[in-house]
Structure 1
Amino acid sequence: MLKIVAVAVALFLIPLQAVAEPRAGFHAGPVFTTFGDIATVQSDLPIPEGTVFRVVFDVTDKATPGQLNRTFDSAARFINMHVEAGVPIADIHVAVVVHGGASVDVLAQTAYAARNDGAINGSAAAIAELTAHGVDIWLCGQSAAAHEITKPDLLPGIGMSLSAMTAFALLQQQGYTLNP
Structure 2
Amino acid sequence: MVGEMTPSTSESVPLIGVFFSCCMLVVSASVVFTVVVLNLHFRAADTHIMSPLLKKVLLEWMPWLFMMSRPGYRFSRGKCLVDKRDNFVRIVEKRLDQKIISSDPATDAQLILLHRLYTELDEITKRFLEEDEKERIETDWKFAAMVVDRACLIIFTLFITLFTCALMFSAPHIMA
- For normalisation by structure 1, the TM-score amounts to 0.22
Bigger relative contact order, structure 1 or 2 (CA pairs below 8 A, ≥6 apart) = 2
Q: Which has the higher helix share?
A: 2
